[in-house]
């Protein structure tokens, strides 16, 4: 895949931003600032939602990095439904004020991709992991550890974007996808991984460490 540069404002938001800025300027020119103020507020919301800052990954080669900005809502032992194995699931919930570009948690090769259409229940709920629209990546590290990273649509999310294919190699922190308007990302880790994240923690994509692989 082509490495995606960080343009500060995600390319996924450029059409929305262009429409809202055009509408805001048109209303401002036509009827004045007072009536145009709601349009400018929406424009500012779109601007902050689609921000896409560059991030620097920690040097720890065994670290599993957060694939998304948000809050940890689950840390639990589960069955990984994609690789049919015991795993530890760490879930990051993104609200509409978080950065929504998704980045690879580890260095590795994409060994599998699964997309499932589904519902759009609140991504903060546990059942969202298996009932909502989702896209899963199976990433195998150079040391043979298997990581499953799942983009999950939320209550108002209506588009999961994933830009990788089977066989692509990802670097830690490399941007691979985007979810529009509220969502979550589930990371399934080997059961022997040392978990460093706790429920309620605020995390940042690439910069925050969720776990360390043994």
Q: What is the pLDDT of residues 2-55, one digit of tens each?
A: 455 556 888 888 888 999 999 999 999 998 888 899 999 999 988 888 888 888
- Does residue 121 belong to any structural domain of this protein? yes
Task: Give dist(CA 45, CA 40) in Å, integer.
Answer: 9
User: How many Cα atoms occupy the beta-carbon half-sphere of 208 within 13 Å?
Assistant: 19
pLDDT of residue 92 exceeding 80, the answer is: yes
Which structural domain, as residue segments, surrounds residue 145? 63-212
Q: Note whether residue 114 is domain-resident.
A: yes
From 37, 183, 198, 208, the catalytic residue: 183
Question: CA 53, CA 107: separation in Å to the nearest integer?
Answer: 20
pLDDT surpasses 50 at 130: yes
Where in 95-153 does DSSP place strands (E)?
A: 101-103, 108-116, 134-140, 146-153
46-84 pLDDT, tens digit each: 888 888 888 889 989 899 999 999 999 999 999 999 999
Q: Is residue 58 part of a domain?
A: no
Structural domain contains residue 2: no
Instruction: Tell me, yes or no, whether 152 and 198 share the same domain.
Output: yes
Answer yes or no: do 142 and 193 share one domain. Answer: yes
Same domain assignment for residues 33 and 127: no
> Are 92 and 35 part of one and the same domain?
no
Residue 137 to residues 1, 9, 25, 39, 46: CA-CA distances in angstroms? 14, 25, 41, 38, 28
In this predicted model, what pLDDT tens digit does every residue of 186-213 receive, in sequence order?
Answer: 999 999 999 999 999 999 999 999 999 9
Contact 185, 150 (CB under 8 A): yes
**Does any domain span residue 111?**
yes
20-25-29 Cα angle (round to 5): 150
Determine whether 84 is an active site residue: no
* Residue percentage of the chain with pLDDT more than 70: 87
Per-residue pLDDT at 2: 46
Is the pLDDT reported for residue 128 higher than 70? Answer: no
Q: What is the pTM of this model?
A: 0.86
* pLDDT tens-digit map of 136-172: 999 999 999 999 999 998 665 567 889 999 999 999 9
Instruction: Categorize the per-residue pLDDT at 180 as very low, low, confident or very high, splitting at 50, 70 and 90.
Output: confident
- The total domain count for the chain is 2
């Amino acid at each position: 895949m082509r490495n995606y540069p960080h343009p500060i404002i995600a390319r996924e938001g450029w059409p929305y931003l262009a429409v809202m800025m055009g509408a805001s300027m048109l209303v401002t020119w036509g009827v004045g600032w007072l009536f145009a103020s709601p349009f400018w507020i929406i424009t500012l919301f779109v601007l902050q939602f689609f921000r896409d800052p560059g991030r620097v990954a920690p040097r720890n080669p065994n670290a599993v990095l957060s694939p998304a900005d948000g809050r940890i809502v689950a840390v639990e032992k589960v069955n990984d439904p994609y690789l049919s194995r015991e795993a530890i699931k760490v879930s990051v919930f993104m609200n509409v004020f978080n950065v929504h570009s998704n980045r690879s948690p580890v260095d590795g090769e994409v060994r599998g991709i699964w997309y499932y259409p589904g519902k759009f229940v609140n991504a903060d709920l546990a059942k969202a992991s298996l009932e909502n629209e989702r896209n899963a990546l199976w990433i195998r590290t150079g040391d043979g550890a298997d990581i499953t990273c799942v983009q999950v649509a939320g209550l108002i999310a209506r588009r999961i974007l994933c830009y990788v294919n089977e066989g692509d190699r990802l670097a830690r922190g490399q941007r691979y996808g985007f979810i529009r308007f509220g969502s979550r990302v589930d990371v399934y880790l080997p059961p022997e991984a040392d978990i460093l994240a706790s429920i309620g923690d605020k995390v940042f994509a690439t910069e925050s460490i969720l776990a360390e692989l043994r």
